[in-house]
DNA sequence: CTCTATGTTTAATT
DNA sequence: GAATTAAACATAGA
């Protein structure tokens, strides 16, 4: 469930469920997801605490507690949060947080089949959080800032854009789509992008993030597969110029691009 | 059976 | 050092 729009929707749900509530139980037996951490430390840090805020930066969520402690949640590839009443645990449930607020109680569950996600309790911010680049929603995507960051490396431009310390929250779908909208070859060395290209890229990234977020707003399901133009469409015609969409592995990630209109 | 996957980290190689 | 590449993680689905 990963890219920024999904994480933002998840943040809003957690905020609705948790802020102002007091944690009555917190359990996880999953040492893979609690990394670093332990079942004992997880419960100890959370039980009895009230939740003061649920924040997001890039793909990370930070739950703030009334004693200054924090719970960090990264959804990895297949993580999501649900409110499950008192239902029994499903097969992929990795953690459970029960809360009470003004006499009513909720049971919030972290579900993650592949367990690439993480839950970390800490008294201070994690390096993973503090090292994140600008957040596209909170900070906006400043083309000048992005240009200066992209100018520092000759890695493929798409790889650089997906670097969470360059810009926080952009994943493979958003990056693939944005390079197509901006008509830029995702394999081009990052430092070779012109100022005009970075400007188009910044606008395309912003538009794609807001488009996907908009599709999820006004909906309250867990369907997060949105219509895309070329992601996963190698071999079919480019929706813009009808050339056959190609595929390449960039920074270890499968990427689709149009060889005709994503030139130079 | 094989191949792929919205993410990140780590080891190996150049 | 930097940069690139492959493998690894764990599971489900086509």
Q: What is the pLDDT of residues A18-39, one digit of tens each?
A: 999 999 999 999 999 999 999 9
b/e code A167-193 from CB counts within 10 Å (16+ = b): bbbbbbbbbbbbbbbbbbbbbbebeeb
Q: What is the pLDDT of residue A234?
A: 92
Q: Given strand A60-65, what is the order of strands in its sheet?
A: A51-57, A60-65, A70-74, A118-122
Q: Are the C-beta atoms of residues A233 and A245 closer than 8 Å to each other?
A: yes
Q: What is the pLDDT of residue A263?
A: 79
Consecutive H or E run containing A25: strand A22-27
Of A111, A77, A74, which is closest to residue A91 (Cα–Cα)? A111
Distance A251 CA to C7 C1' (A): 14
Whether the bond into A36 is cis, omega within 30 of 0: yes
Distances (CA, A) of A163 to A45, A103, A201: 31, 44, 15
Per residue in A136-193, pLDDT (tens digit) is 999 999 999 999 999 999 999 999 999 999 999 999 999 999 999 999 999 999 999 9
Q: What is the pTM of this model?
A: 0.95
**Chain A residues 68-97, Cβ below 7 A from strand B:** 74, 76-77
Judge if the beta carbon of A35 is closer than 7 A to nucleic acid strand C.
no
Q: What is the pLDDT of residue A84?
A: 85
Chain B bases closer than 7 angstroms to a protein Cβ: 4-9
Give phi and psi for A15, each to the nearest 5.
-60, -45
Judge if the beta carbon of A59 is closer than 7 A to nucleic acid strand B.
yes
Judge if the beta carbon of A186 is closer than 7 A to nucleic acid strand C.
no
On average, the pLDDT of chain A sits at 93
Chain C bases closer than 7 angstroms to a protein Cβ: 3-12
Judge if the beta carbon of A225 is closer than 7 A to nucleic acid strand C.
no
Find the mean pLDDT for residues A37-62.
97
Q: What is the pLDDT of residue A222?
A: 65
Distance A165 CA to B2 C1' (A): 36
Give phi and psi for A55, each to the nearest 5.
-120, 165
């Amino acid at each position: 469930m990963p890219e920024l729009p999904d994480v933002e929707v998840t943040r809003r749900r957690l905020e609705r469920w948790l802020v102002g509530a007091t944690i009555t139980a917190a359990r996880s037996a999953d040492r893979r997801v609690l990394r670093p951490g332990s079942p004992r430390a997880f419960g100890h840090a959370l039980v009895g605490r009230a939740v003061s805020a649920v924040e997001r930066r890039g793909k990370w969520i930070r739950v703030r507690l009334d004693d200054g402690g924090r719970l960090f949640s990264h959804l990895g590839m297949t993580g999501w949060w649900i409110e499950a009443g008192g239902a029994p645990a499903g097969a992929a449930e990795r953690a459970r947080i029960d809360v009470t607020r003004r006499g009513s109680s909720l049971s919030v569950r972290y579900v993650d089949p592949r367990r690439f996600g993480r839950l970390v309790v800490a008294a201070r911010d994690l390096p993973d959080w503090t090292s994140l680049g600008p957040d596209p929603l909170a900070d906006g995507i400043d083309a000048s800032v992005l240009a200066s960051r992209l100018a520092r490396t000759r890695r493929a431009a798409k790889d650089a854009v997906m670097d969470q310390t360059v810009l926080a929250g952009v994943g493979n779908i958003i990056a693939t789509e944005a390079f197509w909208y901006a008509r830029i070859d995702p394999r081009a060395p990052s430092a070779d992008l012109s100022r005009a290209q970075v400007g188009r890229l910044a606008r395309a990234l912003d538009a794609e993030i807001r488009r996907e977020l908009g599709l999820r707003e006004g909906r309250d399901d867990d369907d997060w597969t949105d219509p895309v133009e070329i992601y996963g469409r190698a071999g079919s015609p480019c929706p813009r110029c009808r050339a056959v969409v190609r595929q390449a592995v960039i920074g270890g990630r499968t990427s689709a691009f149009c060889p005709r209109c994503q030139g130079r």
